[in-house]
Amino acid sequence: MSRPAAFVRLIGAVWMLARADALIPREIDPILPPPARLGARFLRLFAGPQARRGRPGERLAAALERMGPAAIKLGQVLSTRADIFGRPFAEDLSHLKDRLAPFPVEVAKAVVARELDRPVEVVFATFEPPIAAASIAQAHPATLHDGRKVAVKVLRPGIEKRIARDVETLELAGRLAELFGPEARRLEPRALTSIVARALELELDLRLEAAGASELAEVMTADGFMRAPGVVWEGVSRRVLTLDWAEGMPLSDPKALEQPGIDRKAIADNLIRAFLAQAMDHGVFHADLHEGNLFVAAPDRIVAVDFGIVGRLDAVARRHLAEILWGFLQRDYMRVAKAHFDAGYVPRHHSVEAFAQALRAVGEPNVGRPSAAVSMGRLLGQLFEITALFDMRLRPELVLLQKTMVTVEGVSRAIDPGHNLWASAEPVVRRWIMRELSPAAKIKDLAQDGVKALQALARLAEAREAAPPVVVVEPNPWPGRLGWLVAGAALAAAGIWGWLRLQGLA
């Protein structure tokens, strides 16, 4: 692949958006400043016949679908933000989730037979036409010979080459944004595009998705807010994935929330809590929780599918996330500010107090209010202005977390327009804080540090025994005494920790 070819494709993408009047649609002319309005009118000189048909969301959806999987992923994220772009726009983009044109069932059967090295009839008693077709794969209902109903996911033919081209174009767009947009550099566009590209590449091996589904099924079982279908391992290969059939109806179906006995508030609560519990308690989370990947059943059951994108957080990032959320929940903006500085999100030359003041200006009008009463467009605008003032750069390792948080909040709002995100998050965040930052937890950490110190001392003693004797003229007793002090403190901490465990306090 070559950079000139990627540049040509990028120009082609801009041209396609301009032809569809989806780059700066005519409907937003009244709110544009005069220079931008003039530029938009110039672009419209190149608009084609499709620019005169349909609403902005319909025109954008059609253009993104023609542009390929990476663009479709962008459309999926936009479709969750009815609060920012308006419900008609979001609904026009919603078909990108799982209702694209399928490829023939005969082609899918040929792929399955080749990948599993057996005729389809040997593996499945029935294999039906697809019920959902997305940008990378499509899903087929099937039954095993023991009568169990399953879903068989099959990659689209030739998708690897298409993804490779999209990834190259995406990375070029990131480089150009960083080169020509000084303000964009703070958002680390190259790092962002590389992470998105890596996520797309991982989706091309369904064995990895099967492993992610299995891992997240264990995590979800531990919390109970969400479930995942079981993996049928004998039906798994690089291009084929077989899972147990998901209970309920997909949220992308308008009738899903009209099922008898559905509790919208409980479903929205479970969605938020499932995501936070996965990320904070386990450090692994489903990173593609849009409506097409979520099935619901009465009264409040949620089943997640499509585990192609799995996010991970290390212990340090989880702690910072919990501190920031808990600080907002408690309206403790100094705690939120310190967490940002401790994590390295804000450069040290800035004032913690000033940053806390800026966070208060954003948080106070919004925290604790129902989602319907909060303008997310205004909130995001304020946050962007503040992060610019304090040189806060995008953290590439948190891209999937941030993207999933935006998606989950948008979906929960669509389920229950009056949903209160903060009240929903509070029990999970409180549980983490009480478990990880309580006095008992601190004693446990001290005991673990003591054990590590003892292990280090033991290794040091072994090294000294193995080394040749050294004549010391004036021995210093303090290193030995310090070692005994550390060992004694560790043993005391371990004893206190054991006593707390016996008393049920830890």
Q: Would you give per-residue pLDDT tens digits along the chain (506 residues)?
A: 566 777 788 788 888 888 888 877 887 777 777 777 788 788 888 888 777 778 888 888 888 888 877 777 777 666 765 656 666 777 788 667 556 789 999 999 999 999 999 999 999 999 999 998 888 899 999 999 999 999 999 999 999 888 888 888 878 877 887 776 665 565 566 766 777 677 777 889 999 999 999 999 999 999 999 999 999 999 999 999 999 999 999 998 889 999 999 999 999 999 999 999 999 999 999 988 988 899 999 999 999 999 988 989 998 889 888 888 888 878 899 998 998 898 888 889 999 999 999 989 888 887 666 656 665 555 655 666 677 788 876 565 676 787 788 788 888 988 998 888 888 888 998 999 888 876 665 565 566 666 666 677 677 767 766 666 655 555 555 445 555 555 555 555 555 555 555 455 45
Q: Is 288 a catalytic residue?
A: yes
- pLDDT at position 165 is 85
Whether the CB-CB separation of 26 and 60 falls below 8 Å is answered with no
Which positions ≥6 away from 146 have C-beta within 8 Å? Answer: none
Which positions ≥6 away from 344 have C-beta within 8 Å? Answer: none
- pLDDT at position 438 is 66
- pLDDT at position 394 is 59
- pLDDT at position 142 is 98
Q: With H, G, I as helix, E, B as strand and everything else as coil, classify residue 505.
A: coil
Choosing from 83, 244, 281, 288, the catalytic residue is 288
For 400, the token pair is: 């999937």
- pLDDT at position 478 is 45
Which positions ≥6 away from 113 have C-beta within 8 Å? Answer: 119, 120
CA geometry: angle 311, 316, 319, nearest 5 deg: 90
- pLDDT at position 193 is 72
Q: What is the DSSP letter of 234?
A: G
- pLDDT at position 115 is 97
Whether the CB-CB separation of 291 and 414 falls below 8 Å is answered with yes
